[in-house]
Structure 1
């Protein structure tokens, strides 16, 4: 990692357009660029702007929270006292929005001017460099080249001036594949309409790694895609959504306590979906913004709390406690075994769709609710436990008699 790097992220000179203030996912493009700069290991962030606004102050706070220093300049010549010949400079064009993984993979290769094929690049809104290439909006260049700013007129745009110096200094061009433009991983956002069009693509790119293998995960993903932009633009952070899951969990336990276990099972299913939504929103912020702060309760502890609530509601729903002479513990033993099987069977079964359905607590909650409402609860619970054990025995492959069958031979 570089010991001293700098990043430029700004807006057009003259205040026209103010692309850096356009928002994607409730955060400005400049904030997205800041997350990428910190991921590159930058220790100083330089923002090119002509006005000290609230957004710039917010960038300063985020920069300092990330352990870097923050500078604001109004013209390119102000870079000269900030950068030495030993430094490396990362330049990000105004309005550029990229998937961090795509940018990191190319910038970590070494100094270079990232470029695109001229036809595809100019059609996507990027500026032409020469007859064959368009500027892809990012440069990694040695700090010694910045001294050339002293020979240029002060009215030059900072990004255009640094691009010219990099090209004249024979910084190599690194051609990006057109596929980055086609799937939205590398875009230039110039106005509000383009920001609105880029936002759902940005959400999809940051959630597509969340494998949708069960109904609950699919519903959580659809909620993020549909309601995520509104939540993020309203300033709703993931931990607020997760608190909704906590409230649903408490309401579920309260419903069971007052004799409405069926409603409690539905509320537990809702609580699990809300926490999955919060987990996806957390992933988006951490991947694209390096966001820190309050961590939502989306981990193992909350999942275990939901499972404990399932056991508790199943005990209250059971009719065995009303039978005289039934020993203590008979009513809680089946739900405990059932929940343990939901954790155990996916570990021993071949990975597939049904294994993921067993991890889906939306399916579990709705299944419990249906059984509680229309079927003999205790009988059905025991039948499902038996079915899970038999199913796991059938689909799990048998192991050989040797602990290391691949290393043993028969003579």
Structure 2
């Protein structure tokens, strides 16, 4: 099967930008072009071609960042140059200059056979969308193939290559895929529109709320994240640093728990929203965190080490019953993980938010730690883990009985 490529036009300058490319405008922690490229990658594109008049310095820098993120990226300075880089049978996701389409819209058009066009109704206020006929405008995204690009390259001359591609696709009776509009929120946004990017930034922030499935991620962390996210993505902070910071905080917590249990618990607690911030920031940027899985594993291991340190402190003087209680926490969580895997095979993929998780256990222990009742905190964590496992077992029996 021929892999999907993406072709993104990069011609226009930003209004009043003194030669600054519209697609290089800062947006949600990166440039508009980087968001376009990363959304194309999530839609299945395995390589990227940037179609530009010249290799602008901003364009070269963005291409370098995309390559560093693992997306093969070339710059073509003409439609002929772009066509030469494509196989005739290769499907090509074509994205108009500065156009930011929703991920669901990209997924819909990639699933269609080429040629296909994403469309919007022709109503007042949509002048940025190119008109196809009296009732429909192009939404800025198309699925074509390498052969159509080659044919177009032979006839473009001095014409706008994207407009010619659009007309050729229309002449071939391209499938029209209307945008599933939810008011104006479902429409693509163009970087050339001076106020459009601010609105979509707000939607991106609100749309990533509550990524986790447990109650701390749904109820507690948003209170911290909503204040920190906007300044973080405006400063173009790489979410990798936050993910690494979450593992580091957990490591500090593991070390501190032996001598200062409350300080260790606070460090572990802070590692939770830090990891959640990293995930939300990566999703806003439509990117991925390098080594995310390893940071997650490290955080879990440090939490276990902190539990061991706490148990050692409680068991001083030969009170070995604390070891049994301490072992019940990881045992209960391991059993719960196995039960969740069985539930997923039975068709139930999400557990209730109140079900035990690493962050949930830490927050349950906090009130006991504040008053110094660490034994009670350990017992509460064990009861929470085992109670969640008991619920999962009952749910498995209920589903299996059906």
Q: TM-score, length-normalised on structure 1?
A: 0.76
Counterpart among 37, 54, 58 of residue 54 in structure 1: 58
> How many residue pairs end up in the alignment?
385
Matched residue, 2:204 = 202
Counterpart contact for 2:102–2:188, Cα < 8 Å: yes
Which of the residues 94, 97, 115 maps onto 2:100? 97
Is the 2:332–2:389 contact (alpha carbons within 8 Å) kept by the matching residues of 1? no
Cα displacement (A) at 1:380: 6.0
Correspondence 1:300 to 2:297? yes
| Structure 1 residue 7: Cα displacement | 1.2
For 1:18-44, what per-residue CA distance to the aligned partner results, in whole angstroms no more than 9, with x for missing partners? 321123222222222223444544556
Counterpart residue number, 2:348: none
* Counterpart residue number, 1:193: 195
1:123 aligns to what SS in structure 2?
Answer: coil
Mean CA deviation greater in 23-32 or 373-382:
373-382
Find the counterpart in structure 1 of residue 347 from structure 2.
Answer: none
What is the deviation of 1:80? Answer: 6.4
Alpha carbons 2:239, 2:278 under 8 Å: kept: yes
In 2: Cα distance, 1:391 partner to 1:277 partner: 26
Q: Secondary structure at the match of 1:354?
A: coil
What residue is the counterpart of 1:273 in the other structure? Answer: 273
Q: Secondary structure at the match of 1:94?
A: coil
How far apart are residue 131 of structure 1 and its match?
Answer: 0.9
Q: Does 1:23 align with 2:20?
A: no
TM-score by length of 2: 0.78
Task: Return the offset for 1:176.
Answer: 1.6
Residues in 2 aligned to 1:141 and 1:98: alpha-carbon distance in whole angstroms = 17
- The residue that corresponds to 1:118 in the other structure is 122
> In structure 2, what is the Cα distance between the partners aligned to 1:81 and 1:4?
15
Counterparts of 2:60 and 2:52 in 1: how far apart (Å)? 10
Once the two structures are TM-superposed, the CA of residue 136 in structure 1 deviates from its matched residue by 0.6
Cα distance in structure 1, aligned partners of 2:385 and 2:8: 58
Per the TM alignment, residue 109 of structure 1 is displaced from its structure 2 partner at its CA by 0.8
Aligned partners of 1:103 and 1:217: how far apart in 2? 28
| Residue 332 of structure 2, aligned match among 316, 329, 341 | 341
Unmatched segments (≥5 aa) in structure 1? 407-411
Q: Which residue of 2 aligns with 1:139?
A: 142
Unaligned 5+ segments in structure 2 are: 344-350
Q: Who is 1:315 aligned against?
A: 312
Question: Are 1:7 and 1:37, in contact at CA under 8 Å, matched by a contact in 2?
Answer: no
Partner of 2:160: 157
Q: Distance in 2 between matches of 1:9 and 1:283?
A: 23
* 2:5 is equivalent to residue 8 of structure 1: no
Q: Is the 8 A contact 1:115 1:134 kept in 2?
A: yes
Match of 1:332 in 2: 323
Is residue 130 of structure 2 the alignment partner of residue 127 of structure 1?
Answer: yes
Distance 1:381 1:17, change over 3 A: closer
SS at match of 2:132: coil
Cα distance in 2 for residues equivalent to 1:344 and 1:216: 22
**Separation in structure 1 between the aligned mates of residue 3 and residue 30 of structure 2, nearest angstrom:** 28
Partner of 1:409: none
Q: Is the 8 A contact 2:10 2:23 kept in 1?
A: yes
Which whole-Å CA distance do the structure 1 matches of 2:165 and 2:228 have between them?
40
> C-alpha distance in 1, partners of 2:275/2:87?
48
The match for 2:364 is 367
Name the larger-Rg structure.
Answer: 1
Match of 1:109 in 2: 112
Are the aligned partners of 1:93 and 1:159 in contact in 2 as well (CA < 8 Å)?
A: yes
In 2 relative to 1, CA 188–364 (structure 1 residues): closer, same or farther, beyond 3 Å?
same
- For residues 69 and 251 of structure 1, what CA distance do their matches in structure 2 show? 39
Q: Is the 8 A contact 1:22 1:28 kept in 2?
A: yes
Q: Assess, with a 3 A threshold, how the Cα gap between structure 1 residues 103 and 386 changes in structure 2: closer, same or farther.
A: closer
Q: Deviations over 1:148-174 (max 9, x none)?
A: 4554551x333223223322x324241
